[in-house]
Amino acid sequence: MQAVQPDQLRNIVITGHAGSGKTILAESLALTMGVISRLGTIEEGNTISDYSLDEIERKHSLNTSLINGFWSDHKINIIDTPGLLDFHGDVKSAMRIADTVMITVNAAAGVEVGTDTVWEYTREYYKPTMFVLTKLDADRASFKTTIQGLQDHFGHLVTPIQFPADEGLGHHTLIDILLMKQLEFSPDKAGEMSVSDIPDLYLKRAEELHQQLVEAVAETDEELMNKFFEGGSLTEDELRAGIQSALLTRTFFPVFCTSPLHLIGTERLLNAVINICPSPIERGPEHAICTVDETKSLIQPNPDGPTLAFIFKTMSEPRVGEISYLRVYSGHIESGHELIDVQTEQLQKLGQIYTILGQKKTAVEKLLAGDIGMVVKLKDAHTNDTLADKGTSCRISPIIFPVPVLATAIVPVTQGDEEKISEGLHHLHEEDPSFRIEHDVEFNQTILKTLGETHLDTIISRLQVKFNVKVDIAPIKIPYRETIRLPSSSQGKYKKQSGGKGQYGDVWIKIEPLARDTGFEFVSEIVGGVVPARYLPAVEKGLREAITNGILAGYPVVDLKAVAYDGSYHPVDSSEFAFKIAASMAFKSAFDKAKPFILEPVYTLNVYAPEHYTGEIVGDIASKRGKILGMESDVQMQIIHAHIPQSALTAFHHALTRLTQSRARYSYSFSHYEEAPPDIAQQIIAQKRG
């Protein structure tokens, strides 16, 4: 296949809420372009996008997949993404390298959680965005309600390009208000679109919507506005050029209509992709960072420029090895090409270059700037790495992945599998950087932080399938602490005689509370040599060892000052060992008398939620012993600031998902330790002792 020039390329990412028709839209576009011969379905598990076993079983996209085809002498790269929020790491990586975003919206359901979320990503990446209504042939489809919902959520710049002449079962006709024509489709036959004049029944509505379209486009450009005032309208070419320009500046968001399952609207949608969606040239230069001084640079999509290619996803396939999906931002890549991984400065010699159609790979000679493809078996090159010509010091700005919030401990089902688990998680993290692996040294726990329960289940399942290792989930152990309320003092005397040389150590210790987060402080006030100076380090060591396991529940003791102020020694029997034991004995005795109590870790919690959920969220936080610190508004969201015990975070995650149907998000960070309520402290002590 001949390499495609940047101006003949279109890079589209399809995204939206789970179940809104993304995969079947990608399938119908592929069929219309002629790259497949029949339409697969989610139910039968035979779509080109959802080809992995876990996707077929769950009937949901879990990975980014790529499709490419040709339409009107242009190559279109289509990236199908997962809809479940748990897999939005893939959504952000795909959106990062696409030039246009299609947000699918189920016409029978309207704006959903995922619609809001991916819209925020388009704002973050400043991407040209269009909406595609799907399932207009569904029983409860409502074009009017869905358009109103889009405009309520995303503003008046959301403007329909088409409306259905008929909705619900039997739908097959669209009125196109840009073309001012009626489009009839023959269900299930790609390419069967007939164009005719708009019937009188729909003409008045079409003229009203056409006028709204003209005014909306004219408002985006001063020259078009002047033409509109002079002539009262704009030509089709002027409208098309105006829409393309406004897409780039995010001042216009067109809405197209489809019923992908019956190929209704897909041919027109492909025409729109060619005519109004930007090529890499029109999209403009890409931001890069120069590694020498961390200054920003702009990379032009020039096939004759220095090569810069960006790895946006890494996967591992049986019998193939590691696969790197990449976009070429400048220059070109070809088999045998020697490039430098800018991050690691390691030389990478490219093997065969491929384009992708689902899981099918097609070998190509080269890919030019703007194009998307894959290479296999790169050495230690991962997601977010930039491959460049030798001497190039710039790297493409990285993907910022969603922050995982659901923390879960995992334990091996079979003893001795720890190394296999570690290796497996390392490989899975290279494929999916949106989860994190942490090791809790205090409790020797492996902690996974994921975007949700389905994300966690999928990682555990892939560990078993790909690496033949099983794990169970376990509660995260909370790092409670112990401290004291009052000063106290006590003597510790260790005396042992066993026929030969004995052991003797005698020391008086005073302990007193310190301010929170102060830690531990040791001071010697011994005078007159009652305890020789050479034994004082042993006294301190005994105290420091004693505070690692508190008396109440065995948790470390903090925020305490210990003073050695008196004691005695034996010139023959005294030793460092004896004074270390004596100090430990004195501490434990004094600790019991100082009214000890349990401290629990408290986290700062920030919840972002639609306003009508705030009452329930505040109530749930309070029920989990949280304290509301304040609230503020942010566009359509309310931000709730609170403190919450670490022990309540997992339950809060599940409750927030249930209360808001996943419409809220949150972040948290450690704040401080504070005294646990008496009933909670008793539970902690009883559980630990039990």
Residue 209: pLDDT above 90? yes
Residue 202: pLDDT above 70? yes
Look up residue 616 and give its DSSP letter. H
High-pLDDT (> 90) share of the chain, %: 74
In this prediction, residues 462-483 reach a mean pLDDT of: 94
How many Cα atoms occupy the beta-carbon half-sphere of 523 within 13 Å?
A: 10
φ/ψ region of 242 (left if φ > 0, alpha if ψ in -120 to 50, else beta) reads: alpha
In this prediction, residues 428-455 reach a mean pLDDT of: 93
- Supply angle C-alpha 560, 441, 579, rounded to 5: 45
What is the number of other CB atoms lying within 10 angstroms of the CB of residue 481? 18
Q: CATH 3.30.230.10 region(s) of the chain?
A: 481-594
Under 8 Å CB-to-CB from 242, ≥6 apart: which residues?
A: 217, 218, 220, 221, 224, 234, 252
Residue 164: pLDDT above 80? yes
In this prediction, residues 196-212 reach a mean pLDDT of: 94
What would the pLDDT profile of 525-569 be if each residue is shown by its tens digit? 999 899 999 999 999 999 999 999 999 999 999 999 999 999 999
The predicted structure's pLDDT at residue 546? 96
The predicted structure's pLDDT at residue 635? 66
In this prediction, residues 373-395 reach a mean pLDDT of: 90
Provide the sign of the torsion angle of the four alpha carbons 406, 605, 624, 555, taken in this order: positive
Strands (E), 32-93: 65-71, 74-80
Give CA–CA dist 439/67, Å, rounded: 39
For domain 6-283, which architecture applies?
3-Layer(aba) Sandwich (3.40)
Closest by CA to 83, choosing from 21, 11, 39, 40, is 21
Residue 294: pLDDT above 80? no
Residue 445, beta-bridge partner list: 440
Greater model confidence, 644 or 59: 644
Q: CATH 3.30.70.240 region(s) of the chain?
A: 598-689
Name the pLDDT band for 45 (thresholds 50, 70, 90): confident
The region of weakest confidence among 125-139, 390-404, 473-487 is 390-404
Q: Are strands 372-376 and 353-357 parallel, antiparallel or unpaired?
A: antiparallel
The predicted structure's pLDDT at residue 60? 79
C-alpha distance from residue 598 to each of 175, 332, 517, 552 (Å)? 69, 62, 14, 8
The predicted structure's pLDDT at residue 93? 96
The predicted structure's pLDDT at residue 235? 83
Look at residue 246 and give its three-state secondary structure: helix
Task: Note the CATH number of domain 406-474.
Answer: 3.30.70.870
Look up residue 264 and give its DSSP letter. B
The predicted structure's pLDDT at residue 393? 82
Give CA–CA dist 5/500, Å, rounded: 93
In this prediction, residues 462-482 reach a mean pLDDT of: 93
Task: Note the CATH number of domain 598-689.
Answer: 3.30.70.240
Q: Is the CATH code 2.40.30.10 the one for domain 286-396?
A: yes
Residue 177: pLDDT above 70? yes
Residue 667: pLDDT above 90? yes
Name the pLDDT band for 195 (thresholds 50, 70, 90): very high
Q: Which CATH number fits domain 481-594: 3.30.230.10, 3.30.360.10, 1.10.3720.10, 3.40.50.720?
A: 3.30.230.10
Residue 578: pLDDT above 80? yes
Residue 191: pLDDT above 70? no
The predicted structure's pLDDT at residue 293? 64
What would the pLDDT profile of 230-250 be if each residue is shown by its tens digit? 777 888 888 999 999 999 999
What would the pLDDT profile of 295-352 be if each residue is shown by its tens digit? 788 899 999 999 999 999 998 776 677 889 999 999 999 999 999 999 888 999 999 9
The predicted structure's pLDDT at residue 499? 67
In this prediction, residues 661-685 reach a mean pLDDT of: 93
In this prediction, residues 252-280 reach a mean pLDDT of: 94
Q: CATH 3.30.70.870 region(s) of the chain?
A: 406-474
Residue 470: pLDDT above 90? yes
How many Cα atoms occupy the beta-carbon half-sphere of 660 within 13 Å?
A: 28
The predicted structure's pLDDT at residue 138? 87
